[in-house]
Amino acid sequence: MIKYRELVMRCPRLGGEVSFAYCEQEAGDLPCRQTIRCWESSFPVESHLRGTLAPASWERFCGQAPRDRIATLIDMVEAVRQRQEGDLPPRR
């Protein structure tokens, strides 16, 4: 069996290397909305996700709307603030 979760590539959103395992859970219980676009040249990512996600999760994944940059920045600032206050565990 191919171990897709161990594959690594540069993330265009984060600017550093991430494993496919990170991309699968980046949005909590859903993969990052750009997972298919990023990984499609490396392996059959769409069929892999269809096979691993429940049908309802697949539909939610496909229906994810891109967030605007301001909302993303506000969330990032809030997460950093909470980490500094000790409310969240350090990011991996």
User: What pTM was computed for the model?
Assistant: 0.66
Give the rounded percent of residues in the chain with a pLDDT score beyond 70.
89
How many other CB atoms sit within 10 Å of the CB of residue 45? 21
| Residue carrying structure tokens 């809030």 | 78
What is the rounded average pLDDT of the residues 52-80?
A: 84
Does residue 56 have a pLDDT over 60?
A: yes
Does residue 49 have a pLDDT over 60?
A: yes
Query: Which of these ranges, 3-12, 15-24, 60-69, has the smallest mean pLDDT?
Result: 60-69
Boundaries of every domain in the chain: 4-84
The sign one gets for the Cα dihedral 56, 62, 63, 69 is: positive
Give the rounded percent of residues in the chain with a pLDDT score beyond 90.
53
* Contact predicate 64/30, CB 8 Å: yes
Residues 4 and 21: their CA atoms lie apart, in Å, by 8
